[in-house]
Amino acid sequence: MALTLYNTLTRRKEEFAPLDPANVRMYVCGPTVYDFAHIGNARPVIVFDVLYRMLRDRYGAGHVKYARNITDVDDKINAAAKANGEPIAALTARTAAAFHEDVAALGCLPPDVEPRATQHIAPMTRMVEALIASGHAYVAEGHVLFAVPSMPDYGRLSRRDRDELIAGARVEVAPYKRDPADFVLWKPSPPDLPGWDSPWGRGRPGWHLECSAMSEVHLGETFDIHGGGLDLIFPHHENEIAQSVCAHRGKPFVKFWLHNGFVTVNGAKMAKSEGNFVTIRDVLKQAPGEAARLAMLTAHYRDPLDWTAERLTEAKRTLDRFYLALRAVEDVPATGQGAKARGALDDDLNTPLALAALHEDLAALNKAQTRAEKSRLKGALLDSGVLLGILQQEPESWLKGASSDSGAAEIEAQIAARNAARKVRNFAEADRIRNDLALKGILLEDGPGGTTWRRAG
RNA sequence: GGCCGGAUGGCAGAGUGGUUAUGCAGGGGACUGCAAAUCCCCGUACAGCGGUUCGAUUCCGCUUCCGGCCUCCA
């Protein structure tokens, strides 16, 4: 079955085929490192991680090159560093490290390359020079601006024309712009802010330029997939297209544009001013990263997703059920290549449908009588789990959590005491111990093979 | 104002021109000293109004409501 993806460029699902039949190249807009990442930032990272896994599954792990940038030069960074009284380099290093920890906890594979803007200034200035030379950019008052009217196709991705943009403009047009729609490629930097020497004086790049330059360096002038949040369609991706296509003498830039929907929190847009700004770290205090990941995948990536505590706990309980079933077949080897989720994910990453398939396998596994059936269904579940980035932990470690050995020994001692009480039918004492442990979040399970325990969520 | 998406049972959330997913919650039952888990049974929902059709939740139009974008934004 072919992989189909919804292409923002054409506004329809298209069959995916890489430009180079054996190798896939994908670029996703990464974080601007000035503050902790929030769950809205987490969505594209998770969504495109699933796509990355699907592509690796289909083309081979060594045949997919995934680039996700880190924006480490930006006005918001400058402002945050000033506000904290922290050197800019310290802020970006600290924030980038936190981002890596956060997304690793969410089960996301690292990209193959993670280019940083500050390490790609030379390719950026080269691109600006090429744009000036070809008449697509001009210098004005120390700025270099992209001349939007020089590109007839401008606005194709976001489906808007120049006149509409000007009519709807909310911002004052800088006086040095030849055309109100023109945007900054390079701007002057005062001595107290990061800057690099350039033919146009000491300055720093405009926001859109880095993605054009870094994708060219790492993926080439034309590549397969470019992803990011819905809000990046305009202006960011529109401007990337303009820069890259014009700098590359009209060569196409990206074949598939993919955009994820927004995350709201309890029905409201997330904003610091609203007081509902939820960072990944906040979420990880409430539930394991895998639960947060699953919660994120319960909606289709293009639809809006409302983040609630219920959604997170439900995801956590769902994983409990899966791991409980997997624990029951721990001694059965996994066989088969029957990831049911694959078919659903092939259809524009339909993760909710994929999860429904997993639930069917789960029910079948719970009912399975023979070892062969169990083995096959366990394999199907784990294979699907690889694609979604879930169910890869040891069931025991998921169910017992990160308890210290001494804590576990203490629980085992309590269990032994309770079983002794049960043996003499002293159920009052047995229940006292059960309740005691329950208060600590420990759930005892009496089974035919003895008593086990897990952490209840 | 312009452009683009949405509206499915208590909640979450797929899908389909006719047989109406899946999960949670809820009700009943089996199992169980209790508990948990598991299994079985139970819900004909697709914003409203027109149209096309033998038949529409699914296609078309209009209306209402919600959301995103219009050079900070995942």
Q: Which one is predicted more confidently, A173 or A195? A: A195
Give the per-residue pLDDT at A11: 87
Predicted confidence (pLDDT) per residue in A303-346, tens digit? 999 999 999 999 999 999 999 999 999 999 999 776 789 999 99
Q: Which fold has domain A309-398?
A: Four Helix Bundle (Hemerythrin (Met), subunit A) (1.20.120)
Nearest-angstrom CA–CA distance, A73 and A87: 13
DSSP classification of residue A442: E
Q: Which one is predicted more confidently, A159 or A136? A: A136
pLDDT at A457 over 70: no
Give the per-residue pLDDT at A270: 80
Nucleotide nearest to A366 (CA to C1'): B38
If DSSP codes are grouped into helix, strand and coil, which group holds residue A173?
coil
Give the per-residue pLDDT at A266: 85
Give the per-residue pLDDT at A1: 77
Nearest-angstrom CA–CA distance, A346 and A394: 27
Distance of CA A79 to the CA centre of its chain: 26
Give the per-residue pLDDT at A24: 98
The residue extents of the domains of chain A are 17-264, 309-398, 403-455
Nearest-angstrom CA–CA distance, A272 and A281: 15
Q: Which of A197-211, A257-271, A354-368, A375-389 has the lowest mean pLDDT?
A: A257-271
pLDDT at A405 over 80: no
Backbone φ and ψ for A91, nearest 5 degrees, come out as -60, -45
Could you tell me if residue A239 is left (phi over 0), alpha (psi between -120 and 50 degrees) or otherwise beta? alpha
A321 Cβ contact list (under 8 Å, min separation 6)? A362
Continuous segment of H or E residues that includes residue A183? strand A183-188
CATH of domain A17-264: 3.40.50.620
Nearest to A385 by CA among A409, A405, A361: A361
Structure pTM? 0.95
Distance, angstroms, CA A100 to C1' B73? 21
Give the per-residue pLDDT at A381: 96
Distance, angstroms, CA A381 to C1' B7? 34
Nearest residue: Cα versus C1' of B22 = A356
Nearest-angstrom CA–CA distance, A69 and A96: 11
Crossing angle (nearest 10°) for helices A351-367 and A309-328: 40
Nucleotide nearest to A227 (CA to C1'): B74
Give the per-residue pLDDT at A169: 54
Predicted confidence (pLDDT) per residue in A268-305, tens digit? 888 776 677 899 999 999 999 999 999 999 999 999 99
Q: Which one is predicted more confidently, A11 or A403? A: A11
Distance, angstroms, CA A44 to C1' B68? 16
Q: Which two tokens stand for residue A77?
A: 């960074």
Distance, angstroms, CA A300 to C1' B37? 30
Q: Which two tokens stand for residue A247?
A: 């700098």
DSSP classification of residue A62: G
Crossing angle (nearest 10°) for helices A351-367 and A371-388: 160
Q: Are A200 and A142 in contact (CB under 8 A)?
A: yes
Count of positions (residues) in chain A: 457
- Asked if residue A235 has a cis previous peptide bond (ω within 30° of 0), the answer is yes
Continuous segment of H or E residues that includes residue A19? none
Helical segments of A35-147, H only: 39-59, 75-84, 88-105, 121-133
Nearest-angstrom CA–CA distance, A204 and A210: 10
Nucleotide nearest to A299 (CA to C1'): B13
Q: Which one is predicted more confidently, A170 or A402? A: A402
Strand order in the sheet with A143-146: A137-140, A143-146, A183-188, A203-205
Nearest residue: Cα versus C1' of B40 = A367
Give the per-residue pLDDT at A148: 92
pLDDT at A378 over 70: yes
Positions of strand B less than 7 angstroms from a protein CB: 1-6, 11-15, 21-25, 32-40, 67-74
Predicted confidence (pLDDT) per residue in A41-76, tens digit? 999 999 999 999 999 999 999 999 999 999 999 999
Q: Confidence class of residue A259 from pLDDT cuts 50, 70 and 90?
A: very high
pLDDT at A208 over 70: yes
pLDDT at A171 over 60: no
Distance, angstroms, CA A186 to C1' B2? 29
Please report, for residues A103, A188, A291, A307, the alpha-carbon distance to residue A314 in angstroms, rounded to integers and kept in the order given: 21, 51, 9, 12
Give the per-residue pLDDT at A160: 79
Predicted confidence (pLDDT) per residue in A413-429, tens digit? 999 999 999 999 999 99
DSSP classification of residue A38: B
Distance, angstroms, CA A363 to C1' B20? 22
Nucleotide nearest to A359 (CA to C1'): B22
pLDDT mean over A114-139: 96
Nearest-angstrom CA–CA distance, A116 and A113: 10
Distance, angstroms, CA A268 to C1' B47? 21
Q: Which two tokens stand for residue A158?
A: 């976001």
pLDDT at A403 over 70: no
Nearest to A212 by CA among A236, A234, A230, A195: A236
How close are the terminal C-alpha atoms of chain A, in Å?
A: 38
Query: Which among A20-24, A138-142, A447-451 has the top mean pLDDT?
Result: A20-24
pLDDT at A110 over 90: yes
A363 Cβ contact list (under 8 Å, min separation 6)? none
User: What residues form DSSP beta bridges with A12?
Assistant: A7
**Number of Cβ within a 10 Å radius of residue A363:** 12
Distance, angstroms, CA A307 to C1' B18? 37
**What rounded mean pLDDT belongs to chain A?**
92
Nearest-angstrom CA–CA distance, A211 and A227: 11
Nucleotide nearest to A206 (CA to C1'): B71
- DSSP for A106-120, written as a single string: TTPPPPSB--BGGG-
Nearest-angstrom CA–CA distance, A382 and A13: 28
